[in-house]
Chain A
Amino acid sequence: MTARPDCSKCEELLQPFLDRSLTADERATVQHHLENCSACDRCYKLEEVLWKHVRNCCDQQAGLEFASSELKQKLSDLRTPLV
């Protein structure tokens, strides 16, 4: 996967790229490399899609559980009575 020397640099910058914490120069380096290296470009895309998928799966499971539980009512019952 890291056949070219600049691929390892690109891989190193993957996490900070996703976190948007790269400098403008680093970002340009990554973008230039991605335009010319389909292997890295695919890995970056996979990483983005993966995290979206992880999030969707977790949200979906917890959302259904919450909706089918009586938790919201139980929490409302914890409120301070007005009188």
Chain B
Amino acid sequence: MLVSDLVTEAPSDDVREVVGEARDRTRFEEEALELSDQVYRVARRIAGSREDAEDLVQETYVRAFRNWRSYEPRTNLRAWLLRILTNLNIDRGRRSQRAPDTQSLEESDYFLYGKLDDQSESDVEKLVGRLSQDSIVDALAAVPHDFRDVVVLVDLSDFSYADAARILDIPIGTVMSRLHRGRRVLKQQLASTEVVA
């Protein structure tokens, strides 16, 4: 057989399969990398520090690239990646925090505004703008993990309750109750910041 015969010979099924898989994997990896800044944003809020967030994202991608076959194409890849990330974060032995049932929580959703409101400032944007980036970031970091995860997914990352429930593997009702409680804890934290107090 001549070499030219080998070259023009139709690829065997095995070869076609290998090439097809390499192409699918490449596409998967590219799509996952496109989302890396969004994955980092979530990691940054649920991990304690910038370094922890970077480590967590790297571990997430190691696992994602290794298990890419279990991702179902055309489903929500960002949710799939974040499910890995939140599981890893729990595996890393983050300190489990009890929901602060006993922590006194202001009963009012208007509480923060009662403190923040300043009759001389009618523009609500300016009023809220007095809360600095640092105070916001610190206040969110002080919200217990379980509540914070839900706030980060729903309020900061636009996931539906159903997606947040799937990512965190908890019932939708729990997503809603944690969300409302988490929002209230955050507002309570903000109410105690210097600018407001």
Contact = CB atoms under 8 A, between A and B. Distances in A.
Interface string A44-71: 0111011101110111111101100101
A42 B33 contact: no
A80 B65 contact: yes
Contacts of B155: 51, 54-55
Contact of A75 (B61, B114, B136): B61
A80 B137 contact: no
Interface string B125-162: 10111011100110010000000000000011000000
B58 A71 contact: yes
A49 B140 contact: no
A interface bracket (residues with beta carbon within 8 Å of B)? 35 or more
B136 A58 contact: yes
Given A63-B37, A75-B33, A58 B110 contact: no
A46 B44 contact: no
Interface string B99-136: 00000000011101110110000001101110111001
Interface string A24-57: 0000000000000000001101110111011101
A71 B36 CA distance: 9
B65 A42 contact: no
A62 B36 CA distance: 12
Contacts of A61: 44, 133, 137
Contacts of A74: 54, 58
Contacts, number: 114
Contacts of A75: 33, 36, 57-58, 61
Contact of A79 (B29, B37, B116, B186): B29
Contacts of A65: 40, 44, 50
Contacts of A58: 41, 44-45, 136-137, 140, 156
A82 B113 contact: no
B183 interface: yes
Q: Indicate the member of A42, A51, A57, A63 with the most B CB atoms within 10 Å.
A: A57
22 contacts: A1-B114, A15-B180, A19-B176, A42-B124, A45-B124, A46-B116, A46-B124, A47-B109, A49-B127, A50-B131, A54-B156, A57-B137, A58-B41, A58-B44, A58-B45, A58-B140, A59-B41, A63-B37, A76-B33, A79-B33, A80-B29, A82-B22
Given A2-B108, A11-B108, A75-B58, 11 more contacts: A11-B110, A50-B112, A55-B155, A57-B132, A58-B45, A59-B41, A61-B137, A63-B41, A69-B54, A78-B61, A82-B22
Interface of A: 1-2, 11, 14-15, 19, 42-43, 45-47, 49-51, 53-55, 57-63, 65-66, 69, 71-72, 74-76, 78-80, 82
